[in-house]
Each structure stands twice: as C-alpha cells, then as structure tokens.
C-alpha cells in the first residue's frame, strides 16, 4: 500500500469508533444506500468497511465489531441545574488487525478508506496487551462502571470467532478490572485534588458520588488536606472582604412551634440564596452546625445554619462575636480555635422567640451586656405559624431596639407564655414588647417570604449581584 521506507508508520491493528449517523461517514452522507447500510447490524457494516480497506490494498486478518446502544454520558441539565445521565447515541466499535505493516497504511490513509475523520481511528497504546485490551473493550469487560455487552453481540468478520476469544480471555479481563481501576484512580486523583482546591468539588459531592468516593477512599489524607486548605483560604478571603466593607453578615432568626416547618423553610431560603449566588459564578456552600461544639467542622462555608441549636451551645461572648455583622472574629472549637469566621448568611431556627433565646444565651459566660446587643445583630426575624390550616410567615426586619429593664420575676410559671418559666425573664414595664420594626413587618406565604429575605441578603452582599435563579421563587 505504501513505500517500504515509511511502513513503520503503519499500525498493525486499529480501533474505529463512530456514530451511526450518515453525516459522520463520507460514503453515506450523500448516498441513500450508504445511509441505509448504517441502519444494519454490526456485521453488515463491518463487512463493508473491510471491503473498502482491502480494495485500497490492505489485507485484514481479524475484524470484530459491535454496536454500543446502551452507553450513557453525563450532560448538564438546564432544567435541573445539575449534571444528569442521558443515553449516548448508538455508535460502532470495531477492532481491525492487518497481516503486517506492509498490508496496512498510515492512519490518515486508513481513515480515508474507512470514510471517517482520522481522530476516530485509534492506534493501540504501547504494551504487549494493547490489542487484547482493544478486544476487551468491545464488551466493556474491564470496565465495571460501563454497560456490560454480551460476547454474542460482537460480530466476527475475519479471524477466530470472538466467542472463543472471550471464553479464553474472560478471566484475565475480569482480573484486569482492578488494575485498570487503580490506574484510572491514580490519573483522576490529581485532577480531583485540583478541583477541590478550586472549590469545584465539595465534601458532600465526594460522599454522595460513587466515582469521587472511590478516589477519596484511596487518597483520603491528601484530599482531606485539600478540602481543609480550600476552606482556610475561603475563610481568610471572606474575612478580608468583610473588613474591607464588601459585605456584612446577614443574620435571620426563624422561630415557631416544634414541627411547624422551620427547618424546611430555612433550607428553602438557603437553597434559593446559594442558587442566586451560583447564577453569578459564586460557589457558596452551607455548613450545618452540630448541637455540641457547633463550629468544630466549619471550613469557611458562606452560609451557616444553626438548626435548633440551644442557646447554651456557645458562651454569650461567642454569640456576640459570631453574629457581629461587620467584624470577623476567631471562633472557639474543641481542639483548636478557628481562624476568623465571616459567613455571608447565618440562619438560626428555634422554638422560642429571639428575646427568650438570647436571654438564655446571655446567662452563659461572664458577660454584662444588655439583651438588645444580641437582638440588634439580627437582620430579620421570621415567625412561622398556621392560619386557616396553612403555614404563614411573618417577616419582621429589626428596627430600633428599645432598652430593657430586667428583674427576678415573682409571678408563677402559669402566668407566663409557654416556654417561659418562673424566675426567668420578665419585662419591667407593663407588657412592652421588643420593637422589630413594625413598619416593615409583612405576612407571606413561603415563596414570597423567601423573596423578601433574599432581597435583604442582596443589600448586605452588594458585591454579589444576587437574583432569583431560574426555577426558584419569584
């Protein structure tokens, strides 16, 4: 087929992969007969390809082919705003072996004879088992994560019957899965670590994705270090932006009876906030604090959820520092203190209103601060309640906080509202209530309450043009 001097460029075997659409084959794009041929089985198509190669001077001694019509691929779904699996279009896989190099040709020439672009014709990789590996790929024998095709689906056009080859090599191919998987994990590890350091992969994704978790299980220490490093960098950047006035922490307190749906509402609001930030290229994440030592595992996440956290979980001074909208401060942790904590959004849920909550918080620690110093750190208070058998949400933005006078209460417990015991807090002047800013109070359904809170967050984070993401509340 070619001059002897250039035969070293001729592969003795090749792999061919191509979709079965006529536009990908030069001999079918304008020929109805060619297009019809592509609708036939793998053996019919491969027989025609072998004829074209031999008409060009080649001599084929082995030819095996299969149509892969059950493969899947990962694609981005705009509707779901996530990666999803979809069926891959049917395509032909073929392995062709020539008698020798003189009966083969360079890749470009072979591609021309086959009627495809050169990138769809593959030379075997280096190694004594390269051709064998190409044969095993026809059924995905070494790839446990891919659809397993039956050996009988492989058409034999030249050479020993593929069923016999599979019977002889199947055990070795299955043993090769572990080696191949280990090799792929090693190759994927560096890419995964880089993506972790860029914030593109989170711990949640690792734990919930089989492929990522498999890599993590083999490189746990290195990936944990990468997650920690990214978290520290994210925290330091946030603290620097807070000090520079780029944003101020937005604190929302959600309260209502047990089982009323506070956590669900808080989660919906947080999800909408993260989606809005992500729509502008941000990578916000949420940290759900534990009931004990709440900041132990915090790694710089932009959103902090304190769900049903007891007021006594932190000292009064720690509460004051954490909720300060304009200053970042070190936070206590069990083993070593964290760097500066500067979340964009803090959401607190409780069964009691903020006045009572922070009264209890104020009791822990040697802090002589007025109660309004805690309350004024909140941006909004949401009361979840039921009216006409549906949940309603009273959103109140903190206004001017009037000072309180406190004394030991002599009234019996029964005289207090539920959840408030005798000798607990009691207002000194009549039934005066905390001013949440009644001029900005409004009753909502869940969707409009989320929009109301998101608008407040947008004011506190002007450096991120927050807007409701597609499919969110509007």
Residue-wise pLDDT tens digits, 175-213: 877 676 666 656 678 888 988 998 888 888 888 787 788
Q: At the topology level of CATH, where does 245-407+431-460 sit?
A: Rossmann fold (3.40.50)
Pairing mode of beta strands 329-330, 155-158: unpaired
Q: How far is CA 53 from CA 46, 104, 121, 158, 260, in A?
A: 11, 9, 13, 13, 73
Residue 453's pLDDT band (cuts 50, 70, 90):
very high
pLDDT tens figures, 227-243: 989 988 888 898 899 98
Residue 338's pLDDT band (cuts 50, 70, 90):
low
> 13-159: what CATH class?
alpha beta
Q: Which of 49-63, 292-306, 442-456 comes out lowest in average pLDDT?
A: 292-306
Total residues found in the chain within this entry: 474
Domain ranges (residues) in the chain? 13-159, 245-407+431-460
Arithmetic mean of pLDDT, 146-173: 95
Side by side, the strands of the sheet bearing 13-19 are 121-122, 13-19, 91-98, 60-68, 155-158
Written as six digits, the tokens of 430 are 């009549």
| Secondary structure (DSSP) of 364-398 | SSS----THHHHTT-SEEEEEEEETTEEEEEEEE-
pLDDT tens figures, 241-260: 998 999 999 999 999 999 99
- Answer whether residue 433 shows pLDDT above 50: no
pLDDT tens figures, 374-414: 888 999 999 999 988 899 999 988 865 444 444 445 555 55
Q: What is the mean pLDDT of the chain?
A: 83
| Secondary structure (DSSP) of 195-210 | HHHTTSS-HHHHHH-H
């Amino acid at each position: 087929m070619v001059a002897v001097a250039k035969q070293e460029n001729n592969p003795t075997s090749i792999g061919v992969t191509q979709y079965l659409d006529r536009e990908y084959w030069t001999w079918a794009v304008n020929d109805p007969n060619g297009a019809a041929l592509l609708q036939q089985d793998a053996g019919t198509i491969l027989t025609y390809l072998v004829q074209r190669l031999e008409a060009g001077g080649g001599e084929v001694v082995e030819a095996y082919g299969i149509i892969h019509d059950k493969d899947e691929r990962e694609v981005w779904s705009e509707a779901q705003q996530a990666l999803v699996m979809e069926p891959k279009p049917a395509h032909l896989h073929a392995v062709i072996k020539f008698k020798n190099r003189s009966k083969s040709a360079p890749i470009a020439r072979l591609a021309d004879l086959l009627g495809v672009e050169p990138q769809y014709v593959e030379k075997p990789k280096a190694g004594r088992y390269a051709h064998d590996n190409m044969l095993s790929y026809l059924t995905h024998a070494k790839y446990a994560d891919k659809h397993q095709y039956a050996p009988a689906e492989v058409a034999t056009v030249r050479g020993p019957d593929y069923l016999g080859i599979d019977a002889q090599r199947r055990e070795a191919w299955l043993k090769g899965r572990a080696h191949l998987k280990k090799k792929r994990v090693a190759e994927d590890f560096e890419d995964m670590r880089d993506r972790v350091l860029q914030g593109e992969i989170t711990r949640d994704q690792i734990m919930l994705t089989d492929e990522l978790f498999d890599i993590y299980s083999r490189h746990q220490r290195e990936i944990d270090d990468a997650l920690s490093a990214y978290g520290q960098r994210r925290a330091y950047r946030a603290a620097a932006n807070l000090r520079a006035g780029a944003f101020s922490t937005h604190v929302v307190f959600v309260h209502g009876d047990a089982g009323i749906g506070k956590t669900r509402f808080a989660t919906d609001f947080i999800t909408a906030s993260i989606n809005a930030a992500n729509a502008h290229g941000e990578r916000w994440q949420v940290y759900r604090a534990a009931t004990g030592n709440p900041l132990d595992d915090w790694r710089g996440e932009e959103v902090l959820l304190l769900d049903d956290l007891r007021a006594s979980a932190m000292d009064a001074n720690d509460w004051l520092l954490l909720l300060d909208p304009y200053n970042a401060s070190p936070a206590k942790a069990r083993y070593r203190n964290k760097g500066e904590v500067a979340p964009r959004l803090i959401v607190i849920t409780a069964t009691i209103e903020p006045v009572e909550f922070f009264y209890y918080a104020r009791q822990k620690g040697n802090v002589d601060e007025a109660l309004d110093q805690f309350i004024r750190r909140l941006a909004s208070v949401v009361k979840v309640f039921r009216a006409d058998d549906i949940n309603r949400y009273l959103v109140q933005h903190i206004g001017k906080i009037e000072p309180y006078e406190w004394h030991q209460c002599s009234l019996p417990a029964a005289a207090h509202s539920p959840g408030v015991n005798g000798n607990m807090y009691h207002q000194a002047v009549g039934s005066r209530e905390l001013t949440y800013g009644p001029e900005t109070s409004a009753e909502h359904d869940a969707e409009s309450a989320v929009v109301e809170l998101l608008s407040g967050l947008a004011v506190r984070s002007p450096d991120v043009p927050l807007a409701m993401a597609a499919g969110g509340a509007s």
